[in-house]
A and B are shown apart, each in its own frame.
Chain A
Amino acid sequence: MDVGIVGYGVYIPRYRIRVEEIAKVWGDDPERIKHGLLVEEKSVPGPDEDTATIAVEAARNAVKRAGINPQEIGAIYVGSESHPYAVKPTATIVAEAIDATPHLTAADYEFACKAGTAGIQTCMGAVEAGMIKYGMAIGADTAQGAPGDPLEYTAAAGGGAFIIGKNGGKTIATIEGTYSYTTDTPDFWRRDMRPYPKHGGRFTGKPAYFKHVLSAAHGLLRELELTPQDFAYAVFHQPNGKFPLQVAEELGFSNEQVMPGLLTPKVGNTYSGSSMIGLAAALDQAKPGDRILVVSYGSGAGSDAFSIVARDAIEAKRDAAKTVAEYINNKAYIDYSTYAKFKRMLVR
């Protein structure tokens, strides 16, 4: 495999709501929630933001870092479970807004929280096959959690965009390999025309998240003959703060390897954006030669694992767009009633 990341960008909305603010509404103990989920606050989209606007901002940042002519992007895939339209692609909005139209292919993906990494794999294949010069994969969501559901504490908004191309001078990181593990496991779903997802409670843990993330990680390490010690960073899908730390421990990764890419405590679960933003956070810090493990997870269920090695070009491109930390630190807190207004739970 001879493909890599040419550019990347993220976007996280400015608004945050604290766990305490949500807990107050439902009579929950905020400390128990914060310890149980390892989440302090989550991002909230503004009233004029949706998955398309988030995807566009992330994509524009990726183009800035890549420093390429967007007309050379031959494919755009936007993975999300909150596409603004049920029928009509988000990807065309992104393509138009980054001036990549019209000579490209585009489509929307859905695979719960891993639709973004599925897009990366599609781009890798198309680049490797010589079908396209560059492909862009985006994972973005304005995640839905029903009021009062534990998901409400974590369901957040954000997105990450990656431009994939052949390894060369512009490549900031090489993708050494990818491995997927997929079964039919209904741990979390949203039926057609329903506003909020349902989930299997504790069933989302062992037979779902852990089984798939561990299997994909093991598969990739085995195939590439690597061990946890070979990696500087490890990023796992982060529905909460706790799951990725548990899975890291089970695989033999240390907190030092995981913490730089663990954003849930400050941002919440950005669903399709989650592992994408985690990878971006690792790339924001990585030195040339650093190896990064990324394992996404999408309910339903499947995991995509990647091994990525940072290259020299990363240093020069890092500051061409806003970093994950900049987005995390630029925040404004809102109360629950403003949150309800922004999320259109208050209908006029």
Chain B
Amino acid sequence: MAVPRFWREIPSRYNLIGSRCGNCNKVMFPPRHICPHCRRIGKLEPYKLKPRGKVVSYAITHVAANGFEDQVPYVLAIVELEDGPRLTTQITDCDPAEVKIGDEVEIVFRRMGEEGEDGVLYYGYKGKLVKP
């Protein structure tokens, strides 16, 4: 991913900045530029989501996406955040066999990848199971 393309999304990637519609109050992540419900009458403002949620589904990746080869097997998941929106993320720091639908997850800060050996490093969010 080109540097400016990564860089301009840093607030969302580091701090879960999504959008909230001032008209219908719906919270969205990733951020949107127009409210899909209210369209032009909706007024979107940045909204910081709470870094907590639950696993809606998960999959154990053995054939990695480009750039993630060193991390197999890794758990890909859709997490529903407490604020409502869902996001696709990895579940890190776990034995893949531990993950179940409905598990509580906190969002943590992790290294996502790199632009080759001498390119920039990418950081962003991953989920981590919250053990009872």
A-side interface residues toward B, CB under 8 Å? Answer: 13-15, 46-50, 52-53, 56-57, 60, 84-85, 88, 93, 96-97, 99, 330, 332, 341, 344, 348
Judge whether B121 and A47 touch: CB under 8 Å: no
Q: A341 contacts which of B11, B70, B90, B131 (Cβ < 8 Å)?
A: B70
**A183 to chain B: closest CB distance in Å?**
35
Complex interface: chain B residues within 8 A of A56 (CB)? 109, 123
Q: Is B23 an interface residue (CB 8 A)?
A: no
Query: B residues 85-132 with Cβ under 8 Å of A?
Result: 90, 92-93, 95, 108-112, 120-121, 123, 126, 131
**A-B contacts besides A15-B93, A46-B93, A57-B109, 10 pairs, CB < 8 Å:** A46-B92, A47-B70, A52-B111, A56-B109, A57-B108, A85-B121, A97-B123, A99-B48, A332-B93, A341-B70
Complex interface: chain B residues within 8 A of A47 (CB)? 70-71
Judge whether B110 and A49 touch: CB under 8 Å: yes
Judge whether A93 and B123 touch: CB under 8 Å: yes
Q: A53 contacts which of B69, B95, B110 (Cβ < 8 Å)?
A: B110
Q: A14 contacts which of B70, B71, B93, B126 (Cβ < 8 Å)?
A: B93
Give the complex CA separation of A53 and B111 in angstroms. Answer: 7
Complex interface: chain A residues within 8 A of B109 (CB)? 53, 56-57, 60, 97
Give the complex CA separation of A52 and B14 in angstroms. Answer: 12
**Known: A47-B70, A48-B92. Is A99-B15 also a contact (CB below 8 A)?**
yes
**A63 to chain B: closest CB distance in Å?**
12
**A10 to chain B: closest CB distance in Å?**
14
Q: Is B60 an interface residue (CB 8 A)?
A: no
Judge whether A49 and B111 touch: CB under 8 Å: yes
Give the complex CA separation of A50 and B112 in angstroms. Answer: 11
Task: Determine the residue in chain A with the shortest Cβ distance to B131.
Answer: A330
**B104 to chain A: closest CB distance in Å?**
14
Q: Total A-B residue pairs with C-beta atoms closer than 8 Å?
A: 54
Identify which of A13, A14, A48 gathers the most chain B CB atoms within 10 Å of its CB: A48
Q: A52 contacts which of B11, B69, B123, B126 (Cβ < 8 Å)?
A: B123
Give the complex CA separation of A56 and B71 in angstroms. Answer: 21
Complex interface: chain A residues within 8 A of B123 (CB)? 52-53, 56, 93, 97
B-side interface residues toward A, CB under 8 Å? Answer: 10-11, 14-15, 48, 69-71, 90, 92-93, 95, 108-112, 120-121, 123, 126, 131
Judge whether A48 and B112 touch: CB under 8 Å: yes
Give the interface SS of chain A, mostly helix, strand, loop or mixed.
loop
Give the complex CA separation of A210 and B79 in angstroms. Answer: 51
Judge whether B15 and A97 touch: CB under 8 Å: yes
Judge whether B131 and A48 touch: CB under 8 Å: no
Task: Determine the residue in chain A with the shortest Cβ distance to B15.
Answer: A99
**Known: A341-B70, A344-B70. Is A48-B15 also a contact (CB below 8 A)?**
no
**B99 to chain A: closest CB distance in Å?**
14
Give the complex CA separation of A15 and B48 in angstroms. Answer: 30
Task: Determine the residue in chain A with the shortest Cβ distance to B112.
Answer: A48
Complex interface: chain A residues within 8 A of B90 (CB)? 48
Complex interface: chain B residues within 8 A of A96 (CB)? 10-11, 14-15
Judge whether B126 and A48 touch: CB under 8 Å: yes
Identify which of B11, B48, B90, B93 gathers the most chain A CB atoms within 10 Å of its CB: B93
Give the complex CA separation of A344 and B71 in angstroms. Answer: 10
Give the complex CA separation of A54 and B20 in angstroms. Answer: 30
Complex interface: chain A residues within 8 A of B108 (CB)? 53, 57
Pick the 3 closest A-B CB pairs, nearest first: A48-B110, A56-B109, A97-B14
Complex interface: chain B residues within 8 A of A344 (CB)? 70
Task: Determine the residue in chain A with the shortest Cβ distance to B14.
Answer: A97
